[in-house]
Structure 1
Amino acid sequence: MISNKAKYALRALLAVAAQPDGEALTSTEIARTHSIPHKFLEQILLDLKKAGILESRRGKAGGYVMLRPADTISFGEVLRIFDGPLAPLPCLSRVAYRRCEDCESEARCLIRRELARSYDASRQVLDSRTMADALREGQDAPLTAPVRRAG
């Protein structure tokens, strides 16, 4: 499960990326429009700025704009900024690999093998899907299946 910080970062980033021709979007507009606590959002935007994804502009037309094109920023990159490695086990991480403390043999570990299948599929999707992909396809399909209530 991703953190609220990562989820809010993705919402904010998609909002800024959706602006036409690099128009700036203020943190107040993002917070209000996308139901993100403003103080929390300010830290998230600062982290995205430090990561070289957004830049801030001062003045009357100020706010946040994309520093990099939306088609170069993957969901995986953003999740790693806010939540760290995506791997479910440290021995599967490409960024923060370390051997499991209780591991006898990575080659024979059934848990590692099965979780690697899921992780590889998930990582491939998260690292190949960009903010531009989401914006391009966002209007065409529902986000989730309808929720069914027991009763």
Structure 2
Amino acid sequence: MRLSARVDYALRAVTELASVTSTGAGRGRPVTADQIARAQEIPPKFLESILLQMRRGGIVQAQRGPEGGYWLARPAEEISLAEVIRVIDGPLAHIRGQRPEQLGYHGAARALQDVWIALRASERQILELVTVADVAQGTLPEQVTKLVADPRAWT
């Protein structure tokens, strides 16, 4: 699985929003793009376009003005990592720009389609399970922590 810089930045930005707006002094207050950019070391102009895309995708909301900024459109517990990735990059698995079920393999390579579909199902299983709140709180689901505990996962 390869994630674009846009997806990485988007996931870091929503995690920062979840963390800042749900706890402490920032609770319930909009967070500026500049605050997010500094906290997560994301280029500000790049972040602005990502936040706009996530606003259009219904993940964040925004308010302009001196008291303006961004906040999650729904509770962090209701936003999966898969949803953020789809808003930024589209479907989870693409092979040559197509969904796996649209591919037409023949002969000896026919089973590759099943491999791509299984890979997408595996990705989906994890990415739909993990929410922005899980990441922000550092409490990942047991299924994920078991996978991470396997030394083979790190190589």
What range describes the TM-score normalised by the shorter chain of this pair? 0.7 to 0.9
Q: Contact 1:22–1:66 at 8 Å: present in 2 too?
A: no
Structure 1 position 91, deviation (Å)? 4.6
Amino acid at match of 1:127: E
SS of 2:85's partner is helix
TM-score scaled to structure 1, two decimals?
Answer: 0.77
Q: 2:81 aligns with which of 66, 75, 86?
A: 75
Partners of 2:99 and 2:43 in 1: how far apart? 35
Aligned positions, number:
134
Partners of 2:92 and 2:63 in 1: how far apart? 32
Q: Corresponding residue for 1:121? A: 122
Runs (4+) off by over 6 Å: none
Percent sequence identity is 36
Q: 1:109-150 CA deviation, whole Å, 9 max, x = no partner?
A: 2112223332211111111211011122259x8xx89xxxxx
SS of 2:30's partner is coil
Please, which runs of 5 or more residues in structure 2 have no aligned partner? 150-155
Q: Corresponding residue for 1:66? A: 72
Are 1:3 and 2:9 an aligned pair?
Answer: no
> Counterparts in 2 of 1:84-103, with a 5 A limit?
84-89=90-95, 90-92=98-100, 99-100=102-103, 102-103=104-105
Amino acid at match of 2:29: E
Amino acid at match of 1:85: P
Q: Corresponding residue for 2:113? A: 112
Q: Specify whether residues 125 and 34 from structure 1 end up closer, same or farther in structure 2 by C-alpha distance, changes over 3 A only.
A: same
Q: Corresponding residue for 2:14? A: 13
Please, which runs of 5 or more residues in structure 1 have no aligned partner? 146-151
Q: Contact 2:105–2:113 at 8 Å: present in 1 too?
A: no
Q: Corresponding residue for 2:42? A: 36
Partners of 2:39 and 2:63 in 1: how far apart? 20
Higher helix proportion, which one? 2
Amino acid at match of 1:103: Y
Q: Contact 2:9–2:42 at 8 Å: present in 1 too?
A: yes
Partners of 1:66 and 1:56 in 2: how far apart? 9
TM-score scaled to structure 2, two decimals?
Answer: 0.75
Partners of 2:41 and 2:139 in 1: how far apart? 18
